[in-house]
Amino acid sequence: MFTIYGRANSSNVRKVLWLCDEIGQTDYERLDYGRGYKACSSPEYLELNPNMVVPTLVDGDLVIWESNTQLRYLASKFGPEEFYPKDIAARAMVDMWLDWQLTTLLNGIRNLFQGLHVKDEAFTDPKDLESAHKETTRSMTILDAHLAEDNAYVAGRHLTIADCAIGMFVHRWFALPVDRQDLPALTSYYELLKQREPFEKWIVGQGV
């Protein structure tokens, strides 16, 4: 049995919990760390993760920090293969979108969330929010165009760990009080994800 350290309402924890349900791996221990719970600066947590962020996954002697790496690990260990294909080309597409989530999509949506939902004063400047909105709109437009190319999911016809990473922030985009362009493929994708019970439980059900 492995252990996930992190509060269930954290975006990065939620995407890992979503995958666990999708692949039938629900026999794990989850410990609440992070905002509102045990501090990530506590000595016992720092021994596992010096970055002081969640989640941290511990499986035996193995300690993994990064949530997208945790997705790769869990999908590789427990399968089924369609979540993280062994075929090198198919896997490259999944990895590309996983990296895109971190390098591109996250930038704007994180600032919008911090400013509009968390109300962190460091992110509430109107000009900064406008910039974050434009950046997120551009990212969602890129994703919409890709999904419109007959892609039911981000990396093709099947749900993969790329969806677990990106779907969390698509939900956040639709849940935040912002103006949204009409992006039909993105909207259809979001409705498709909401048909999945683990998505409803861990993503929609945990709020914004």
**Which among 59, 79, 99 is the end of a domain?**
79
Residue 124 lies in a domain: yes
| Average of per-residue pLDDT values in the chain | 97
Q: Where are the alpha helices (DSSP H) in the chain?
A: 11-22, 43-46, 67-78, 88-100, 106-116, 126-147, 161-175, 184-194, 197-202
- How many structural domains are present in the chain? 2
pLDDT for 181: 95
92 and 169 within one domain: yes
Give the pLDDT score at 96.
98
- We report the CATH number of the domain holding residue 65 as 3.40.30.10
Are 65 and 126 part of one and the same domain? no
- Put simply, whether the predicted model's pTM sits higher than 0.85 gets the answer yes
Final residue in a domain of this structure, among 58, 79, 100:
79
Does residue 56 sit in the same domain as residue 37?
yes
pLDDT greater than 90 at residue 150: no
Average pLDDT over residues 84-99: 98
Residue with tokens 């999908």: 75
CATH code, domain with 147? 1.20.1050.10
Closest of 86, 88, 67 to residue 19, by C-alpha: 67
Is the per-residue pLDDT at 159 higher than 90? yes
Amino acid at site 90: A
Are 31 and 91 in a shared domain?
Answer: no
Indicate if 103 and 163 belong to the same structural domain: yes
Domain boundaries, position 21: 3-79
Domain boundary among 28, 61, 79: 79
Task: Report whether pLDDT(151) > 90.
Answer: no
Q: Is residue 101 part of a domain?
A: yes
